[in-house]
Amino acid sequence: MQLIDGKLVAAKMRAEIASEVARLREKGMKKQVGLAVIFVGDDPASQVYVRNKIKACEEVGINSYLCKLPQDSSFEDVAATTDKLNRDENVSGIILQLPIPRHLDENKLIDLIVPQKDVDGCTAAQKGRLWTGRDSLVACTPYGVMKLLDFYGIPLEGKNSVVVGRSNLVGKPMAQLLLDRNCTVTVCHSRTKDLAEITRSADIVVVAIGKAKFLKADMVSEGAVVIDVGMDRDENGKLCGDVDFDEVSSKCSYITPVPGGVGPMTVTMLIANTLEAYKKSEGVL
């Protein structure tokens, strides 16, 4: 069994991004590379995620802008902030930190971000580009999974891949990225019948269902590649994933741990997308 080390891959990628940002500065960038985070409310988990994003920007030399709005902000308040960032030449990428307060329409607010600054791949425009095979900014978590698979040289073409979870942020774009690499993809979810039978048939299993230790040893085949996107707490309050690592790892050829697997890649791909959005806007090769 080979452990897929997301911390290692993320560190290598961040070093490369930092080097490229420094090179662009040396060439005399007319505009700055900048990531803006719109954070509405005071969700405790989101506060941690936002701090991680700002820290990652600092690490690679990208400017960060935190736009903090109160819990009772109106749609118009958030829309006005988004419009201002859309027009700011030093903001290369914009994300709306999720979840947002329930009285706000998430999809409508996300779609106010101009597609060229949608570095989380969440707007309908960027999703449409992904699903129609065009150049796009891809949702960060599935994009990070693909980078891990490539780093470890895991062959994809012709492989039977199962994605457990159908969310817009992970499951659906994950399936499309695997399809684009010539995998045969099955998407499963909470209403899938005989789920274990389907996952046992897979060469690659990506689990993003939000249930602690959901995937058990009897649900995977010998030698499978298992990617755990989950971030949960077990019965003792200990951080774990959607995969029962202790049970499943002995059967795998490759597996991601939690923590230290997919997690570090998500923020890394966000800053990679921000740099990519800057380069596209400036026509930089």
Distances in Å between the Cα of 255 and the Cα atoms of 160, 229, 251, 259 are: 16, 11, 10, 12
Structure tokens at 168: 């817009």
Residue 242 catalytic?
A: no
**Could you say which of 7, 31, 42, 97 is catalytic?**
97
Are 173 and 25 within 8 A, CB to CB? no
**Could you say which of 5, 7, 27, 53 is catalytic?**
53
Distances in Å between the Cα of 230 and the Cα atoms of 41, 193, 208, 227 are: 24, 21, 5, 9
CA atoms within 13 A of residue 96's CA, in its CB half-sphere: 27
Residue 135 catalytic?
A: no
**Could you say which of 117, 118, 120, 127 is catalytic?**
120
Residues 6+ apart with CB under 8 A from 233: 212, 239, 240
Are 63 and 31 within 8 A, CB to CB? no
Residue 159 catalytic?
A: no
Distance CA(235)–CA(130), nearest Å, equals 38
Which residues are identified as catalytic?
A: 53, 97, 120
